[in-house]
Structure 1
Amino acid sequence: MDRLKEAGFLISEDGTLHPPLIDKEGLRQIHRPASQLEIITRQDWLRRHLPEYLPFFANGEEIIPEHIEPILVEVTTEQQHNLFRVARLLWSIPFSKGYGRRLRFLIMDRANNKLIGLLALQSPPLSFPARDRLFRYPPGRKTEMVNQTMDIQTLGAVPPYDRLLGGKLVALIAASNEIRQVYWHKYSGRATEMAQRILPPHLVALTTTSAFGRSSLYNRLRYNGIRIAESLGYTEGYGTFHLMELYPLFRRFLESQGISTRGGFGTGPRRKWQTMVRALDRLGLSSDLLRHGIKREVFLFRLVDNLEAYMEGRDTEPAYRNLPFSDLVTWWRERWLLPRAERMDGWRKWRKEEIKSLLLIEQDKAAK
């Protein structure tokens, strides 16, 4: 409770949480303890591996905007996984390995072999009201239809490319032909782990939620008049991030009561939620503590033009949009990159050595 109060939450007499009325920087501050907890637990790994991966991050002076040449790299090797892991720790919100079907990508700058940004997709939640209100699924086929979409788990650019609106580039790339083609090749004819069903390998839509309320990244994201990200409203304000410092304690408490908290197939994306609900219940606390009240904007990326008709079973084949990676890059360069580089020059001062100060903690502090 003290930690929540320090973060600015108000707690009424009945135990209800009320979020602080703050801006996006304040919301980042609320997420920071959970993110710092991840960094602290990975200190030994970071000290061993950061020197190997720091060269993949650019200094501002190494970037020539006109020469930036983005390429899409699917994460498949150990080195790529490790680079993704280091970069993801720079995010303001905690990292999750994801669940179900997963795809991870590095967006690299071929001009200097530096990392621009990250994109990670995972299986969608089976129940997602903002999405489900759009469709009348065929009887008995909701799981089949929903699992032809994916949820964007990680999307963004790393410094200094983020200063040059690299996040807009990664968001555009999420809707590209190449992403759904990778999905097709990876999952065509492959049975699901839980039900051993072979689902159609179509990827027809993506969903995601903004990290901090209304999203400046996804709003007004268009390509040649096509709206790439469509706002579906806001979430209800439930989650676990504000209690993540207590999660290890909740797990140990339940395990001491003979209740398993291990993950794996069959536990689904709500394992942390379920663990916390069980622990709160056994401690005599209300599960309303999971209602942090911070509402996130929900977005839909349509990858087909006949999405409603396909999801409702009226069309048997998806009518894919044609969004080539190269065309999206060209659009981003002319629409966002070059104008931004001309208006601002603060990105030139970024030094990748700053990543060390963000990720490496003095050993005496890490031990506390």
Structure 2
Amino acid sequence: MEEKQKQALKRKIIKNLKDYGVIWNEKKHQVIVEDFREVQRKLAERTNSKGQEYKSTVQKYLAESSDIDISKINPYLVTVESKAEHQRLWAYATSHWSVPVTVGYGRRIRYFVFDRQNDKLIGIVGLCDPVIGLSVRDDESIGWTKAQKIHRLYNCMTAYILGAIPPYNQVLASKLVALTLMFPKVREDFYQKYENSPSVITGENKKPYLAYIDTLGAFGKSAIYNRLTNWEFINYTKGQSHLHITANGSWELIRQVVPEDAFETYKFGQGPNWKMRILKIALRELGLSDEMLSIGWQRGYYRCTLAENWQEYLLGDTNQVVWKDFTPEDLVSYWHARWVTPRLDTLQTNLELYPDQE
């Protein structure tokens, strides 16, 4: 590519950033953002809004406020399938997110969380392969070596999307959705889905024991996981991200300056890191700094461990897993007792004031 074309792409990428509230100070090699939430809102508007067009076709799954008796909310999980109806409902649900929603990487398991009292959609949760390198997880949470991580990262998943949709989000149901990841069905589904699937990274046919789930708060700490049983806050990430570039329309520009074979690296099980690597190649090619990725979105890191001996297992000190004794009934009862009953009047008012579906 000629230098003139590269400069044109460079200017376009910088303009795309500016259009979403991200200023690139080229002299200082520094990203400047005045309002992180507004940037994320604008990016989400671009990436998530398409799902709203499916509202009329998925209406039967959507609750009105009058459909919900808060004291009777009782969730069950339905695996998201490839059929069109499920894809439309998933797209509609994600349109309510105020941050850009990615599709996840590598292995993926997605669930709808429905309410038994009315068979309406409470919320959604999606699990994907964890990022390869994440210091807050590797050093502060698990404390494993590189060799241990290569051996046991297979037994971890990341919740890349999790939460309730309206009107259930008015009654602390996102906390309930987070609790459903501890339902035995999740680890059992994981085992069945990957029982005969060799690890892409090592080629080994590993035991698909899902011992560890983690996630990141969208804006620092998250109210969803705050004081929620078995969800633990560990620390903050370092503040690097690719979404402010890849979700603002610049991804196709990036493709023009990166060798096509570089886009195949994700196939080797290297997780979400591949986009960061692609961007670094492109930024260098365009004469921009890697510091453009250091946007400062420090996100809260949370873990949810499904095994009593999760750390011993992930460190490779044992090959046996002792599962935590979670039951759906106990988890739902906990949610009602801890989060609903003490504030039932307030939650009921929130629900009644929320406008019904049009």
Report the TM-score, using the length of structure 1 for normalisation: 0.83
The counterpart of 2:187, out of the listed 180, 188, 204, is 180
| 1:338 aligned residue | 341
In structure 2, the CA distance between the partners of 1:218 and 1:296, relative to structure 1 (3 Å rule), is same
Residue number in structure 2 paired with 1:68:
73
When structure 1 is superposed on structure 2, of 318-327 and 133-142 the one drifting more is 133-142
User: Deviation at 1:307?
Assistant: 2.1
Hey, what does 1:146 align to over in structure 2?
A: 153
Other-structure match for 1:164? 171
Structure 1's 139 and 242: CA in aligned 2 closer, same or farther, altered over 3 A?
closer
* Alpha-carbon distance in 1 for matches of 2:165, 2:289: 39
**Contact 2:43–2:99 under 8 Å retained in 1:** yes
2:351 corresponds to which of 339, 347, 350:
347
CA contact (8 A) 1:137 1:145 kept: no
Q: Distance in 2 between matches of 1:136 and 1:64?
A: 44
Match of 1:23 in 2: none
User: Shift of the alpha carbon at 1:121?
Assistant: 0.7
- Paired residue for 2:330? 327
Alignment of 1:307 onto 2:310: yes
User: 1:258, CA displacement in angstroms?
Assistant: 6.3
Matched, 1:107 2:113: yes
Kindly indicate whether residue 157 of structure 2 is the aligned counterpart of residue 155 of structure 1. no
Which residue is 1:17 aligned to? 31
> Contact 2:157 / 2:212 at 8 angstroms: preserved in 1?
yes
Identity percentage of aligned residues: 27
- Give the alignment of 1:245-256 within 5 angstroms: 245-254=248-257
Aligned-pair distance for 1:242? 1.7
Deviation at 1:161, TM superposition (A): 0.6
Counterpart amino acid of residue 88 in structure 2: N
Seen in structure 2, the aligned counterparts of structure 1 residues 2 and 140 have a Cα distance that, compared at 3 Å, is closer
Distance 2:265 2:42 in 1: 23
Alpha-carbon distance, 1:10 to partner:
5.7
Q: Return the match for 2:42 from 11, 19, 33.
A: 33
More displaced, 119-128 or 6-15? 6-15
Mapped to 2, the partners of 1:263 and 1:63 lie a distance apart of 46
* Range with bigger deviation, 100-109 or 126-135: 126-135
Match of 2:284 among 262, 267, 281: 281
Cα distance in 2 for partners of 1:220, 1:176 equals 19
Q: Aligned letter for 1:32?
A: R
In the alignment, the residues of structure 2 paired with residue 14 and residue 210 of structure 1 have an alpha-carbon distance, to the nearest angstrom, of 29
Q: For 2:142 and 2:63, how far apart are their aligned partners in 1?
A: 44
- On the 8 A contact 1:237/1:292 being kept in 2, the answer is yes
CA-CA distance at 1:286 after TM superposition: 0.8
Provide structure 2 residue ranges, at least 5 long, that are not aligned to the other structure.
1-13
| One-letter code aligned to 2:47 | E
Mapped to 2, the partners of 1:181 and 1:153 lie a distance apart of 20
- Aligned partners of 1:72, 1:64: CA distance in 2, in Å? 19
Q: More deviation in 131-140 or 308-317?
A: 131-140
| In structure 2, distance between residues paired with 1:302 and 1:103 | 17
Change (3 A) 1:135 1:52: closer
Pairing 1:272–2:275 present: yes
Q: Tell me the C-alpha RMSD between the 2 structures.
A: 2.5
Q: In the TM superposition, what is the alpha-carbon distance from 1:196 to its structure 2 partner?
A: 3.6
**Do 2:48 and 2:101's aligned partners in 1 also have CA atoms closer than 8 Å?**
no
**8 Å CA contact 1:305, 1:319 repeated in 2:** yes
1:165-244 to structure 2, matched below 5 A, reads 165-193=172-200, 195-222=202-229, 228-243=230-245, 244=247
Classify 1:77/1:11 alpha carbon distance in 2 versus 1 (closer, same or farther; 3 Å).
Answer: closer
Q: CA deviation at 1:74?
A: 1.6
**3-state SS, counterpart of residue 267 of structure 2:** coil
Q: Partners in 2 of 1:4 and 1:105 — Cα distance?
A: 33
Give the secondary structure class of the aligned counterpart of 1:254. Answer: coil
Once the two structures are superposed, what CA deviation does each residue of 1:95-142 show, in whole Å capped at 9, x if it has no partner? 211112211111101211210011111111222211111445477442
Which residue type is aligned with residue 350 of structure 1? Y
Determine the C-alpha separation between the residues in 1 that align with 2:261 and 2:132. 25
Picking from 40, 55, 58, the partner of 1:53 is: 58
> Residue 203 of structure 1: SS of its match in structure 2?
coil
The answer (yes or no) to whether the contact 1:61–1:349 under 8 Å persists in 2 is: no
Q: Secondary structure at the residue paired with 1:280?
A: helix
CA distance 1:262–1:142, shift in 2 (3 Å):
closer
**Alpha carbons 2:78, 2:114 under 8 Å: kept:** yes
Q: Is the 8 A contact 2:20 2:42 kept in 1?
A: no
Quick one: which amino acid aligns to residue 351 of structure 2? W
Distance in 2 between the 1:136 and 1:28 partners?
A: 32
Amino acid at match of 2:272: P
